[in-house]
Amino acid sequence: MNPGILYAFAAFVLWGLFPIYFKTLHQIPALEMLAHRMAWSLVFVFAVLFVRRHWRWFGPTLRERRLLGRFAASAVLLSANWGIYIWAVNAGHIVEASLGYFINPLINVLFGYAFLRERLRALQWAAVALAAAGVVWLTWQNGAPPWISLALAVTFGGYGLLRKTAQLGALEGLALETVLLFPVAIVYLTIVGLAGASHFTHASRGLQLLLAASGPITAVPLLLFGAAARRIPLSMLGLIQYVTPTLQLLTGVLIYGEPFGAVRAVGYGAIWVALGLYSLEGVRSLVAARERRVA
């Protein structure tokens, strides 16, 4: 088996199990957990860079203002996505959060059309329209748009757009983002600590170790994803990525007892059919490309 497939499955399964990890840390407020995630991610990524002796790119990169600006924007979107997700999980919205990652591929399609001038084929337009109908249905039935889902999809889609056009690899990009986020995290944690409101300080040793583990828990799936993206076609990667929201949805319903009634099933069903159309178009494009190469 292509090792890229294994890397992809490992990354998406780990992301799919994130609700269990964050639920374990429910005693820690979302902002404090986010700040620790930023800080410990930097520690872990720098440890990887140290072991690999991979530092030469860092100095020249810090002198490129345009690149720094792009990665500052991606760091803001990434931290917003992390923060919203942590809050959603611990506020009992795992199912709604999973919807955000079901919608995300279609947001990527729209961003590609709007910002990268990518042409959309008929099935892709149909998929986007059907997903929009599902969101409208959920909005009408609930009296408000699924803001958590949309916020997660848009922030991660925007992050992916910026990283797609960036000049750094997965490890280097994550290192630069965590460097940019680290000062904000340290200032916040220092203020909380001086005010005597640090939950980390008063937590048990087990919870402290779990919180410190947010570094590798954050970085390892991203690095696996980067390794997979270099080894398998993006269309295949796009199909495997549905493992993550599926696991999150099942976790929310089966483990934490979140409701999933008929109203949600109709809206989610429309989005799942849209994803089916999107995936079908991806497979057709892959087959057509292979046939052209053979010819």
Q: Rounded to whole angstroms, how far apart are CA atoms 51 and 47?
A: 6
Q: How many Å from the N-terminal Cα to the C-terminal Cα in the chain?
A: 26
* Residue-wise pLDDT tens digits, 151-192: 999 998 888 888 877 778 778 888 999 999 999 999 999 999
Given the structure tokens 């990652």, which residue do they identify? 101
Torsion of CA 145, 151, 156, 157, to 10 degrees: 50
Three-state secondary structure of the chain: CCHHHHHHHHHHHHHHCHHHHHHHCCCCCHHHHHHHHHHHHHHHHHHHHHHHCCCCCHHHHHCCHHHHHHHHHHHHHHHHHHHHHHHHHHCCCHHHHHHHHHHHHHHHHHHHHHHCCCCCCHHHHHHHHHHHHHHHHHHHHHCCCCHHHHHHHHHHHHHHHHHHCCCCCHHHHHHHHHHHHHHHHHHHHHHHHHCCCCHHHHCCHHHHHHHHCHHHHHHHHHHHHHHHHCCCCHHHHHHHCCHHHHHHHHHHHHHCCCCCCHHHHHHHHHHHHHHHHHHHHHHHHHHHHHHHHHC
pLDDT for res 234: 61
**CB contact at 8 A, 101 and 151:** no
**CB contact at 8 A, 28 and 207:** yes
* Residue-wise pLDDT tens digits, 63-90: 888 889 999 999 999 999 999 999 999 9
pLDDT for res 216: 92
**CB contact at 8 A, 107 and 251:** no
Pull the structure tokens for residue 262: 């008929």
Mean pLDDT by 10 residues, the chain (295 residues): 83 93 93 94 91 86 88 93 95 94 86 83 87 90 90 91 78 89 95 92 90 91 79 70 91 94 90 87 76 73
Cα R_g (the chain), whole angstroms: 20
pLDDT for res 162: 86
Nearest to 136 by CA among 150, 151, 154: 150
